[in-house]
Each structure stands twice: as C-alpha cells, then as structure tokens.
Amino acid sequence: MYNTLTGEKEVFNSLEPGRVSMYVCGPTTYNYIHLGNARPLVVFDTVRRFLEYLGYEVKYVQNFTDVDDKIIRKSKEENVKPHELAERFIREYYQDADALRVKRANIHPRVSEHMDEIIKFIMGLVEKGIAYEVEGDVYFSVSRFADYGKLSGRSLEDLQAGARVEVDARKDNPADFALWKKVKVGEPSWESPWGYGRPGWHIECSAMSHKYLGATFDIHAGGCDLVFPHHENEIAQSEGLYDAPMARYWLHNGFITVNQEKMSKSLGNFFLVRDILQKFSASVIRFYLLSTHYRSPLDFADDKLESARKGLERLQTSYRLLQEHLDQGNIIVETNQTDIFVEFDKDINGYRKQFLDAMNDDFNTALAIAVLFDFARSINTIISKGRITSKEQQILVSAAKVYIELAGVLGLEIEEAQVEGGSDLVDGLMELVLSIRKEAREKKDYQTSDKIRDTLKNLGLILEDTPQGVRWRRQ
C-alpha cells in the first residue's frame, strides 16, 4: 500500500500478527455528508473489508468531531444547542453511511465525551515543554518538535515563506497551532487547568486514537487535504508526547471534483449524498466511487454516474442470469464434461487470483472491477451453452459463490434489485397483463403486444422475451 509518510508503496505488515488497528478521520457533524465526504468512507471501508477478507481482525475507529466552530456557528443560526445539532447530524450520517454499505466502526468516539483524555494529553505536552499557555490559550510549539513537516514534506521555512496565516504576536512561532482555545461568550466550554475553553481541532484525534489504539497503531487514513495541517499536527502532538511513531501507514484518498475543481463546502459546489440518492441508488454511488483508484481525483457528473449505473447493472445481470439458469434446473444426466466447462472451472480461480492481486497492489479497485467484468462475460458465455450436467452445475454454483464473494470484498450488492418486485397486487396485475400480451403474440397481434411492452417500459418495467417465456423486472 502507498504510504504518504514515505511516498512509496510498501508491503503491509501489521504490528500484531493477524490484527490491524486503523483510525479514520470522520466528519464534523454540522450538515449532511456530501459526496466528497463519502469517498473516504467508502474507500477505507473497502480497505477494511479487504483486510478482513484476508483474515485480519480489524479494529476500526472513526471519530465524530462534535465540538467545532462550524457547529457553534450553525447552531446559532438555527437556534438550537450545539450538541443537539451535532447529535442530529450524527444520526443523519449513519443513515447515509449505512445506505452506502459502510460498515460501522468498532468505536465511533466523540470529542465531547473525551474531554478528560484531551486535557490530560495537553497537560502532558505542557509538562514536556513542547506546548505553552498564553492567556488561557494553549499552543503547540512546532520548533520543539524536530520532525515537524515530515508527513507533508515541508519545512518550517517553507511554511513561513508562503504563510497565509495572520501572525499572532503571542505565538512563539507563526506555525504554532492551538491545542486549547479559551472560551468566548456564548460558546460551549469545559473546565481545564487553563480555565474554561475547548480543544483545538487536531488534538482530538491524537487523544482518542491513543486511548483506543495505543501510542502506535497500523493505519491512519483520511482525505488528502488532511495531510497538512491536520495529520502533520497530529503527528507532532502524539509523537511529541509519546516519542513513538503514531501510525505506521498513512493513507490518503484523492478528491471528488466538479468540472475538475475540488468539491468543497467553501466553494459551495458540493452534492449531498442524500440528493444524489434521488437519482441513483446507493450501490451505484458506491460502484462509481470504487471505479477509480482511490488516490486519483474523481470527477462528479450525472453522465458518469449513469455510466457507472450501466456497468453495475451488467454485473448484476450476469448474476441474475446465472441464478435463473441454475433455478431452471434443466440438468441432463451425463458424465462427460465438455472442455469449455473444464476451462471455465479453471478460470474461476484465475479470476479470484487476479482480483486479489489487484487489491493487493495498493487497493486497485478499478482493476479489481475490470476482473469482475471479465468474470461476468465468462458467466454469460457459459450459460448460453444451454443444458448442463449435474457436474457442470456444481461448477456454476461455485462460480456464483466466488462471484458474490469478490463483489462482497468491494461491498457491492450484486444480488439486489430483483426481489423488490413487489406486492401481491403488482404480481397479480402483472400476471394478468402478461397473459393478455402472450395471447396477443400468439395471434401475431404485435401492435398490442408492443404497446403493452412500451407502456410498461414507461412505468419502469422491462419485459424481455426469452425462449423460456417472458421475464420482467424493474427499472
């Protein structure tokens, strides 16, 4: 996997055999999540699923930033208490993340519930002399941490040269950042040795990751805009206090762009997951997010999601056809396997291997998906060969199993969309309509039969005539 810290792909070795500890920076809960927020969720959820597939026991921690300037500002606008606002959007977060099949973390720590740990952490830094208090604020002294800049590849001189931060004369160094902010009127605050106040942005991840994963853990992940300053500062805090490497592998996903520009809240060009779900299913969104390598930028546009929709549908169709083929049970009892099935049987393992090789190479989901397409084509071809022997049926059953298993590593729902068919009423009506159409076709009254097909299509019901009779499905 590619490690931002070294700038190279490295072989992954976990700290403890068979176990992986992983911390992912979660959202600040003051709004619904947008697609840009969803990308790391889906990408790192996939990393987790893959590690679990390989047999690791993954301890996955993802925080909620529920104490923050933006929450306070928005709560004033909406005239609700900050913690109520945060609480509400945590619930909304789960709704979107669950839809995208993002597995819940083992622990979802919140800043508001970890004040003791945070304050103790800061006290430790002050005692070690790498943080200092000024009038109720506490700052981290970057000049006291020799490795400052190692993650983002910049030096303190670089930072000063291009400094856009207004200089605060009370700081020893302009790059020093706040660990603790003195309370302002009307803001939530907690008691501390420096008076009432609240934590700075970066300290929470250092304190909470330490509590749940220890001074050193395996993987720390987040969006690439967090490399600097957020993760750089986390390293300074954690390594400054514990003198041990914070995380061994740092993973960063690329941005979602809109017209090649970063999707962000400040530019206002963001799309909420919730709104996109009006047009596309969560599975399609997930598929789309995984169709590009996680470190590359990914441009958002309706036609690109539409293309993803068609692609995913292709994968789903293969599975559906395979199931139907097996359900039809047109097995003939013979012993001689044809060559093509022998070949296909070998291919199944080949696809699995190719898929895993792709994932093993820095989570190349785009390539892994390509393998699924090859697999799908193979399935489509083999089942078009018609009747099968019982031995051949076994091969198809195992193909179905592997196919679902690999899709599952990506968290893709391949077998969905068919059962949702409907109520007894719909089924009953469809039975009636289809029998009328069947009669019309038998009488070669194609005008009527096509009218039925076209009308149903406009209602979102697709009819497909096959040698075994008509088949219908939604969408």
Partner RNA sequence: GGUGCGGUGGCGAAGAGGCUAACGCUGCGGACUGCAAAUCCGCCAUGCGCCGGUUCAAAUCCGGCCCGCACCUCCA
Position among 52, 87, 92, 299 found at the interface with RNA (CB under 7 A) = 299
The answer to whether 94 contacts RNA (rule: CB under 7 A) is no
Segment near RNA (CB under 7 A), from 234-242, 375-383, 402-410, 425-433?
A: 375-383
Q: How far is the CB of 12 from RNA (least distance, A)?
A: 16
DSSP designation for 414: -
Taken in order 41, 50, 230, 118, the sign of the CA dihedral is positive
Q: How far is the CB of 107 from RNA (least distance, A)?
A: 18
The answer to whether 93 contacts RNA (rule: CB under 7 A) is no
Position among 3, 206, 238, 292 found at the interface with RNA (CB under 7 A) = 292
The answer to whether 109 contacts RNA (rule: CB under 7 A) is no
Segment near RNA (CB under 7 A), from 206-214, 239-247, 339-347, 447-455?
A: 447-455
Count of residues of this chain found to bind RNA when the rule CB under 7 A is applied = 83
Q: How far is the CB of 89 from RNA (least distance, A)?
A: 11
Position among 108, 304, 352, 391 found at the interface with RNA (CB under 7 A) = 304
Q: How far is the CB of 463 from RNA (least distance, A)?
A: 6
**19, 14, 46: which is closest to 406 by C-alpha?**
46
Interactions with RNA, residue window 66-85 (CB under 7 A): 70
Going by their DSSP bridges, the two strands 388-389 and 57-62 should be labelled as unpaired
The answer to whether 376 contacts RNA (rule: CB under 7 A) is yes
**117, 98, 342, 104: which is closest to 212 by C-alpha?**
117
Q: How far is the CB of 18 from RNA (least distance, A)?
A: 27
CB neighbours of residue 246 within 10 Å: 28
- Furthest CA-CA distance within the chain: 92
Position among 230, 248, 286, 325 found at the interface with RNA (CB under 7 A) = 230
Contact 27, 93 (CB under 8 A): yes
Copy the structure tokens of residue 327. 């359900």
Tokens 């070690």, located at residue: 128
CA gap 148, 174 in Å, rounded: 14
H or E element at residue 157: helix 156-161
Crossing angle (nearest 10°) for helices 365-383 and 302-328:
40
Q: How far is CA 465 from the centre of its chain?
A: 38
Tokens 């390539």, located at residue: 367
Per-position x/- string for 188-217, each x denoting binding to RNA as judged by CB under 7 A, each - no binding: -------------x----------------
Q: How far is the CB of 27 from RNA (least distance, A)?
A: 5
Q: How far is the CB of 5 from RNA (least distance, A)?
A: 12
Tokens 């039925």, located at residue: 452
Position among 5, 25, 51, 282 found at the interface with RNA (CB under 7 A) = 25
Segment near RNA (CB under 7 A), from 73-81, 87-95, 339-347, 374-382?
A: 374-382
The answer to whether 393 contacts RNA (rule: CB under 7 A) is no
Length in residues, the chain: 475
Per-position x/- string for 311-330, each x denoting binding to RNA as judged by CB under 7 A, each - no binding: x--x--xx--x---------
Contact 205, 24 (CB under 8 A): no
CA gap 230, 248 in Å, rounded: 17
Interactions with RNA, residue window 262-281 (CB under 7 A): 262-266
